Structure formats: structure tokens, C-alpha cells
Amino acid sequence: MTDPYAIQPSELDQLPDRDPEETAEWQASLDAVTKAAGPHRAAYLMRRTLERAEGNGIALPKLLETDYVNTIPTAAEPSAPGDEEMERRITAWNRWNAAAMVTRGAKHGVGGHIATFASAAWLYETGFNHFFKGKESQEAPGSGDQLYIQGHASPGIYARAFLDGRLTEAHLDNFRQEAGGDGLPSYPHPRRLPWLWEFPTVSMGLGPLSAIYQARFNRYLTARGIKDLTSSHVWAFLGDGEMDEPESTAALALASREGLDNLTFVINCNLQRLDGPVRANFKIVQELEAQFRGAGWNVVKSLWGNAWDELFQLDTTGALVRRLREVPDAQVQTYQTRDAAYIREDFFGKDPALVELAKLLSDDKILECFHLSRGGHESRKVYAAYKAAVEHKGGPTVILAQTVKGHTLGEGFASKNANHQMKKLSTDEFKQMRDLLELPIKDSDFVDGVVPYGHPGADSPEVRYLQERRAALGGPAPARRTHALPALPAPADKTFASFDKGSGSQNVATTMAFVRLVKDLVRDKETGKRWVPIVPDEARTFGMESLFPSLGIYSPKGQTYEPVDRDQLMYYKEAKNGQILNEGITEAGSMADFIAASTSYATHGEAMIPFYIFYSMFGWQRTADQMWQLGDQLGRGFLVGATAGRTTLTGEGLQHADGHSPVIAATNPAALSYDPAFAYEVAAIVKDGIRRMYGEAAPGEDPNVFYYLTVYNEPIPQPAKPAAPGIDEGIVKGLYRFNTAESAGLSPAANAARIQLIGSGTAIHWALKAQRLLAEEWGVAADVWSATSWTELRRDALDADAALLRGEERVPYVRQALHGAEGPVLAVSDYMRQVPDQIAQWVEQDWSSLGADGFGLSDTRDAARRYFGVDAESIVVAALAQLARRGEVQATAVKEARERYGL
């Protein structure tokens, strides 16, 4: 007969067993308990043994799941400081005003969300009263804690700001009505309400990702001696449904690996997403616990309120805990809406032991437990969880707090699938809510059916208590401070001027030119330490390995190994105070790094200059949502799309061939998008960016922008900067004439047909070759222009159009620059035609363009350019066709050129 307890082959068979007899005795004891007392008792003993082993410092893997109970038993809960009754009243006022604000706005049709804050109110209020440090905190001066507020909970945050005097009734009445200038944005938004919000979070998933990298960047600033942020804590408030976003959990291992005990996730587990249960047939809390434990996080579950204590004490068989673990989330949601008889039958009736337990409970007790009593709704439970989180050392903590979505809003809201879309309460529902919250609001305060705001008075005990608690913690929160920082000293002019002379006969790609510029800038005595190089595991592709030994790669552990290339000049050097953030293969993580660094001027009062260099194809296409987040958060810095263009990255093919990133970048109002052709243009753009973002911005210039530069990996001799006046202005504004047919030494005939060729990025080299072919083979004079930014030219023209509508006379810069230029215009870039066509309507001359539309492909550069019709010969044919339509060359020249060049 087969022994059911026989041990199967195991990886442990490979380890030495110095006492097999003792091992067999332990196994036999477990078998005996299982037979005599059942598997649940055996599992309990094993878990107690594991718990004792951990307490004795024995290294063992942890269980991924625990029972569906609170991590901190009631008997172990610390006493919360402060006045619990006072905090209850404050929370009641905030609940009321959050619901009133959204309901009053409903008459304007602007919507709003009520149920999320209703479920999470105590999660926020406990933090505001006892944990969240403000900007004036003595422990973290100028920084405080960083709070990533769940976007749909914003009405509750506004309600609290109203109670403490930072907002007025007029502000609340302008919720979601911003056009007049005094409104409140629907969700956390620094660009729309920059004195309150620090972090935009409603694009779900980006909040948790950013919080992890913000906590990590705080450690980076501390390690590099920029600012001591040891006492600054990052709190991210998230929804259980939000955790389905891949970005929400993308960096959990990073947080654990780097021991970020300055980070706490608070996940509001109300078991509902936007349109229904999060895990209808499963249990989201258990799933998240396993996920976070597996990633190495400390997990604190706060599931049940004090009313459950009696039930757990009565559960002498473990049947209650087993039943709680097996009931799916959607059924828990159903219990919250059903009567006691239903709960007796469906929950307790499944196990004889539970039937007997239920006989000891009144209907009121059952309803209190299943309708109201959740860990996330009781301040003492929340306080215990938060205290455990901030005291835990060695790694990040996640708090899984169970709540009821729509709590205190009445039967019409609580746990209903549609409550995310429900924007208002009726007058009767508000009166029921008032009675439940015990608020002194009279029926007569409801005038013409309009719900009143509630406020106990500026000098009331509630407001004084609230303000005293915030004063003790360092001032109001959330709060964003725009520090009056001095302008960073401009780097020496020679750093940039060295590129003006060109490279002579040496072939230099603009990617290499940018890296060389950065190498010079990080050596600057004044600002060098403020540069934050960020790269997603492609530093060698971009020629950045020379920075490794001089700057070091940041690692909280330093370098615990001998690098394989230690004997080489450019070896792989990691250091605790390393300056480079080399993130591995994660564009999303690198962007989160960039956002933290680019907003450090506000978050911490320390201006940092991040540059993030990446495959251009994998920037805007892959992480454009984060680039919007960057603009929303008023970030500053340099995004560098390297190996740019559809035809320039030889051989790589469709998935690497970027022909569209400037189109996507053009949609972001905060992005200044440039496509420089030459090294001196790169230098001029970076110089101007440093001035605008970190130095003295000109009147009317917004410093809260970021620069996007496309640079290329095609080594080409870099020309010297032309000596004509206004070149730097043209580079920054987006267009200047690089040369004329005459200055290029082509000596056109006096009556030669003339055309203007405009190129950007690497395409200008094809235009220059076409200029020569047109002169030498077709007798056509061509002037060549460099368009460093099609997007900035368009934006200037749009501004000029708007000025005209206001009665102001303004001529777009592109029209000024091309004024008087003879002949038609032909534009070309290594991107789709839509990129140069942005400016077509403001060009007075006849316009046509060439571009690399369609999908990319693998081949040589020359073959790819011929395929897309953007090489020099294709430009010649297009130029002749344009001139032929104007009657300035013979029509036969076009056919002849096609045949000569094999097109």
C-alpha cells in the first residue's frame, strides 16, 4: 500500500543531512498531528514554528499568504495619541463637505467621485493627524513627506483644506470648473493647483511607480550629499483595482532590493474597481499579499474592526477564519448589502461549527460586523498599521486596509457596483448621513434643496485641533512649495563654444557630441554635481561608458564584487555616491527617475538637472503617459532620443526605426522638441535650456518645461558654426539659413532657378548633397536651411495667430526668417512628412515635403533612404518637379533625373 505521507523527491535531497534519524522524527511528529488533529492543526503548528524560527534569526523563506485576519492583533495595538472623539468629528465634517461639493457641482454636469474618499477617509485622516510630515517639519525641513493621493479621493482632500482655512466655499463651488481661474482641478494636479498638489496621480499605475522611484531618489540625494532626506517618508495611497495596472507593480522588487524603508503603500481594499468587484471569484487582499511578500515587502493587513474581536474569540475551531478565507470578494460585497438572515444562512450555514457560533450572535452584532466594521474604518487600527510601517526597517511596507466603498453614504451607495459613477446624494440621503455622522446641520439649512457646506467655525475646537496637529507635524499637507531658489550659475561659455569650430575631418555623431558635452558639464565646479545622468541599460550604445569610472553608477550597496573589466580604463564602477542612474531594461523606471529628479527643485528645494538618454523609438512611443505626467508635475530637464530617425539606425529594422517621436512630442505643451543636425546646434540648445529652466528665464518664458532632443548615431564630419549673425537665435527658435548656393562655393548662373531646401537632424546632410547635385548637374541654385525645431516654429506661429485675433500685429518667426527667400520650399526630415508639414500654412513660398512615412525596415542607411525617397537623389527629383510645375526648369528634367538616379 502506498504511504500517503511519503516524501517525494525534493531539492532538499541535494543538501547534507547530518542526522537523518532526527529529521525522520520531526516528519513523523507532523504526520501524527495531521492524523490526530487534522491538517489545519498541523498547519498552525508549522506556522508557529516558522514564526519562532524567524524570531530567533533563522533564515527561512516566508509564507506568501497568511490567514484572512489582521496582521496586528487587537491586544498588540498601540494606544493612539490625541483625541479620538475630536478626530471623529473632524472626519465627519470632511466626509460631509466632500459629498456636498460633488453633489452641488452635479447641477453643472461636471461630475465628481464620492465613494472612494468615503471608504478611505480614516486612511487619510489618521495620517494627517499623526504621521504626514509637512514642509516645515524639523525632521525633514523643506521636504516633509511626499504624499501620492489616490486621484478619486481628491474631494476629501479639498474638504480638509476647507476645514483648515486653505480653501473657501467659493473654491469648493468651483470644483471641476477651472476656466475662470479660481477652480479646483478634478484630480491632484500641480500645474493647475501648484500650491497644493505635488504629484499628479489619476493616470492610474503611475502613482505607485513614481512613489517607488521618488523614495529611491530621496536615498540618492542623501547618498550624494545633496540633501539629508533620512527622515522624509513617501506615502502612496492606491486602490486595489489600480493594482491591475502593470506599472503599479513593475518596480516592487527594486523597492525591496534597495531596502526602501522610507516608503509605504496604503492600498484601499474596498474590493471594488470602477464597475464592479476587483476579484469577484477570488480574494484581492490575499493575491496582493502574496505578490508583495514575494517581492520582499513587509505586509500589514488591517481587515477587520473591533466588532469582530468577539467573533474571533468565539471561534475555537478555526472554522471562522477558514470561512473568511474561502468566501470570494463579490460575496463579501453582497453580505454588506443583505440582512442578518441571509448572512446567517449563506456565511454561517456552510459549517456546523459556524452555525453554533452564530447562535451566540444577535442580528445587530452580525450586521455591525458585516456592514460596518472594517480595519480601514477605525482610527486605532489604521494608526497601528501606520506605526508598524514607519518603524519597520530594512524594506518597504504595504498596508492592505479593507474598507467599504461608499461607507457612510447610505444604503444607496455602500458597496453598489455603480457607486463610482454616482455623483450626488438626494436631500433625504444627506439628512440620513447627517444623523449618522452626528453633525449639527439643521433641516432649514437646506435652502431650495441645495445641500449646505458644514464648518464648525474658524475658532472651533475641531479646527484648532486640526491646525495644532498639523503645526506639530510641520505645517499643512499636502502642500507644494516653489522655493525661491537662486539661479544656478551658467556653465562656462567655453564648454559650449568648443563645438562651434566643428570636428574637421573627424566623423562624429550628434549622440557622441551630446555625451562629450555632458562630460564637460558634469566637471563644472558649480553645477556639475547637480547633473543626473539616467540611462536604461544602453550606456555603451550611446558611448557613455566613459562616464562610469569618473561618475560612478549609483548603488546603495556600492560595489561588492570585482568587475570583470576592472583592468580596463572605462570599467563598470558602482558606488554608494554614484551619480549615474543606470536602470536596467526599464524605460518606465527611467522616466520615473527623471520625474523625481526633474521636480526636486520643488519637492526638496534642490535643483537637479536630469538628462535621460534612450532609444528614441522607446521613449515617446512607450512612455508618453509618463511624459505627460512630467509636464503635469512641472518637471525640468533634458530628454534625449538617441539613435534617432527612421533610416539612421542601420540594420535594426521596424521595431527600432523611429519616424514619429516628434509628432507625439508636439502634442505635449511642456515639451520643447528639437531635432538638431550639428554638434554646435546641440550645444546651443542645451545652453539655452539650462538658462531657461535653471537660470534667468526671459519675461514671458515658462521655466517649467522640458527639452526633447533627437540625436543620431551616424558619424559625419561636424561643420563649423556659420559666422552669420543671429545663428544662435535661429537655433533656439527653430530655423536659420545654414548656407546659400553662393556661400557653398557652387557659383550658380545669374539666372539660375532657385529653391530653398529645409532639413532637420541628419536629413540636412542629404539636403547638402542634393544642393551640390542640383548645382553641378542641373544648374539649379539651392539654399540650405536647418530646422532645429518644427514644433517650436509652429507654436510661435500659433501664438502669432492668436495675437492677431487680439488686435496685435505679430509676424510668425518662420515667415520672418524665410521672407524674401527666392523660389519654392522643399522640406525633408528622417521622420514622417507630418513633422515638417507642421509649419506649411505659415510659409509664403510654394511648399512641398519629403519624409519617411510608413513602417521601418532593416537595411543599410543608403538603401533605407532610397526606399523612403528621402536620399539626396530623391530630393533632387522632388526639387526639379517643384520647379517644373512653376515653369522654371524643363519638365523633361524630372524624367531624366529619375532615370539617371535609378528612381
The model's confidence at residue 416, banded by pLDDT at 50, 70 and 90, is low
Sign of CA dihedral 746, 748, 752, 755: positive
Confidence at residue 3, expressed as pLDDT on a 0 to 100 scale: 56
Average pLDDT over residues 462-470: 97
Task: Tell me the C-alpha distance between 278 and 261, whole Å.
Answer: 28
Average pLDDT over residues 54-74: 87
Task: Tell me the C-alpha distance between 171 and 168, whole Å.
Answer: 5
- The alpha-carbon radius of gyration of the chain (Å, integer) is 33
Task: Give the DSSP per-residue string, 782-834.
Answer: EEEEE-S-HHHHHHHHHHHHHHHHTT-----HHHHHHTT--S-EEEE-SS-TT
Burial of 58 (0-12, 13-18, 19+ CB in 10 A): exposed
pLDDT at 591 over 80: yes
The model's confidence at residue 1, banded by pLDDT at 50, 70 and 90, is very low
| C-alpha closest to that of 210 among 616, 535, 603 | 603
Q: What DSSP designation does 734 have?
A: T
Which amino acid, residue 851?
G
Name, in order, each residue with C-beta under 8 angstroms of 26's C-beta and a sequence gap of 6 or more: none
Confidence at residue 102, expressed as pLDDT on a 0 to 100 scale: 93
Name residue, grid cell 533625373.
897
Q: What is the pTM of this model?
A: 0.94
796: alpha, beta or left, given left = phi > 0 and alpha = psi -120 to 50? alpha
Which amino acid, residue 279?
R
The model's confidence at residue 422, banded by pLDDT at 50, 70 and 90, is low
Task: Tell me the C-alpha distance between 498 and 10, whole Å.
Answer: 66
pLDDT at 340 over 50: yes
The model's confidence at residue 426, banded by pLDDT at 50, 70 and 90, is confident
For the segment 695-721, what is each residue's pLDDT rounded down to a tens digit?
988 898 999 999 999 999 999 999 999
pLDDT at 654 over 90: no
Confidence at residue 4, expressed as pLDDT on a 0 to 100 scale: 54
CB atoms within 10 A of CB 812: 23
For the chain, give the mean pLDDT. Answer: 93
Range of lowest pLDDT (89-93, 272-276, 308-312): 272-276
The model's confidence at residue 38, banded by pLDDT at 50, 70 and 90, is confident
Confidence at residue 372, expressed as pLDDT on a 0 to 100 scale: 92
Q: Which helix (H) or strand (E) holds 691?
A: helix 679-694
Task: Give the DSSP per-residue string, 40-103.
Answer: HHHHHHHHHHHHHHHHTT---PPPS---SS-SS-GGGPPPPPS-HHHHHHHHHHHHHHHHHHHH
Task: Tell me the C-alpha distance between 236 and 143, whole Å.
Answer: 16
Confidence at residue 741, expressed as pLDDT on a 0 to 100 scale: 95
Average pLDDT over residues 214-231: 98
Average pLDDT over residues 175-188: 91
CB atoms within 10 A of CB 420: 20
- Burial call 208-217: b when 16+ CB within 10 Å, e when fewer: bbbbbbbbbb
pLDDT at 424 over 50: yes
Contact (CB, 8 A) for 308 and 381: no
Average pLDDT over residues 119-128: 97
pLDDT at 413 over 80: no
Strands (E), 659-735: 671-674, 706-710, 716-717
Task: Tell me the C-alpha distance between 603 and 203, whole Å.
Answer: 20
Name residue, grid cell 477558514.
322
pLDDT at 197 over 50: yes
Question: What distances in angstroms separate CA 798 from CA 120, 792, 804, one per listed residue?
Answer: 45, 10, 10
Confidence at residue 546, expressed as pLDDT on a 0 to 100 scale: 84
Average pLDDT over residues 480-489: 83
Q: pLDDT higher for 51 or 284? A: 284
Confidence at residue 5, expressed as pLDDT on a 0 to 100 scale: 53
Average pLDDT over residues 685-692: 97
Confidence at residue 434, expressed as pLDDT on a 0 to 100 scale: 93
The model's confidence at residue 115, banded by pLDDT at 50, 70 and 90, is confident
CB atoms within 10 A of CB 459: 7
Which amino acid, residue 477?
A
| C-alpha closest to that of 283 among 326, 320, 252 | 326
Cis peptide before 141 (omega within 30 of 0): no
pLDDT at 728 over 90: yes
For the segment 820-851, what is each residue's pLDDT rounded down to a tens digit?
999 999 999 999 999 999 999 999 999 999 99
For the segment 344-402, what is each residue's pLDDT rounded down to a tens digit?
999 999 999 999 999 999 999 999 999 999 999 999 999 999 999 999 999 999 999 99
Task: Tell me the C-alpha distance between 158 and 124, whole Å.
Answer: 12
Task: Give the DSSP per-residue string, 175-240.
Answer: BT--TTSS-B-SS--TTTSTTT-S----STTHHHHHHHHHHHHHHHHHHTTS---TT--EEEEEET
Confidence at residue 547, expressed as pLDDT on a 0 to 100 scale: 87
887 Cα distance to chain centroid: 55
Task: Tell me the C-alpha distance between 25 and 330, whole Å.
Answer: 44
Task: Tell me the C-alpha distance between 262 and 636, whole Å.
Answer: 25
Contact (CB, 8 A) for 305 and 375: yes
The three cell numbers of residue 611 are: 538628462
The model's confidence at residue 742, banded by pLDDT at 50, 70 and 90, is very high
Name residue, grid cell 479639498.
158
DSSP helix/strand/coil, 267: strand
The three cell numbers of residue 774 are: 542640383
Contact (CB, 8 A) for 544 and 582: no
Q: Which helix (H) or strand (E) holds 24?
A: helix 20-37
Task: Tell me the C-alpha distance between 229 and 212, whole Å.
Answer: 15
Contact (CB, 8 A) for 259 and 556: yes
726: alpha, beta or left, given left = phi > 0 and alpha = psi -120 to 50? left
Confidence at residue 419, expressed as pLDDT on a 0 to 100 scale: 52
Question: What distances in angstroms separate CA 283 from CA 47, 86, 329, one per listed residue?
Answer: 21, 35, 5
Name residue, grid cell 513627506.
145
Burial of 576 (0-12, 13-18, 19+ CB in 10 A): middle
Percent of the chain past pLDDT 70, that is, above it, reads 98
Torsion on CA atoms 647, 650, 655, 658, rounded to nearest 10: -30
Confidence at residue 721, expressed as pLDDT on a 0 to 100 scale: 96
Strands (E), 628-769: 637-642, 671-674, 706-710, 716-717, 736-739, 754-759
Alpha carbon distance, N-terminus to C-terminus of the chain: 83
pLDDT at 6 over 70: no
Name, in order, each residue with C-beta under 8 angstroms of 487's C-beta and a sequence gap of 6 or more: 694, 695, 696
Strands (E), 703-786: 706-710, 716-717, 736-739, 754-759, 781-786
For the segment 673-684, what is each residue's pLDDT rounded down to a tens digit?
999 999 999 999
| C-alpha closest to that of 190 among 634, 596, 501 | 634
The three cell numbers of residue 791 are: 514644433
For the segment 751-778, what is each residue's pLDDT rounded down to a tens digit?
999 999 999 999 999 999 999 999 999 9
Confidence at residue 881, expressed as pLDDT on a 0 to 100 scale: 97
Confidence at residue 540, expressed as pLDDT on a 0 to 100 scale: 83
Q: pLDDT higher for 450 or 652? A: 450
Question: What distances in angstroms separate CA 415 from CA 406, 488, 775, 884, one per listed residue?
Answer: 6, 53, 77, 72
Contact (CB, 8 A) for 519 and 491: no
Which amino acid, residue 218?
N
Question: What does the angle CA 255 – CA 613 – CA 603 come to, to the nearest 5 degrees?
Answer: 50
CB atoms within 10 A of CB 567: 8
Contact (CB, 8 A) for 196 and 621: no
The model's confidence at residue 75, banded by pLDDT at 50, 70 and 90, is very high
Which amino acid, residue 670?
A
Average pLDDT over residues 293-313: 96
Question: What distances in angstroms separate CA 148 from CA 1, 132, 237, 274, one per listed residue?
Answer: 60, 11, 6, 20
Which amino acid, residue 324?
L
Name residue, grid cell 516608503.
263
Task: Tell me the C-alpha distance between 807 and 811, whole Å.
Answer: 13
Task: Tell me the C-alpha distance between 475 and 467, whole Å.
Answer: 8
Name, in order, each residue with C-beta under 8 angstroms of 643's C-beta and a sequence gap of 6 or more: 511, 541, 542, 615, 616, 617, 649, 652, 656, 658, 712, 713
DSSP helix/strand/coil, 707: strand
DSSP helix/strand/coil, 398: strand
Q: What DSSP designation does 485 have?
A: P
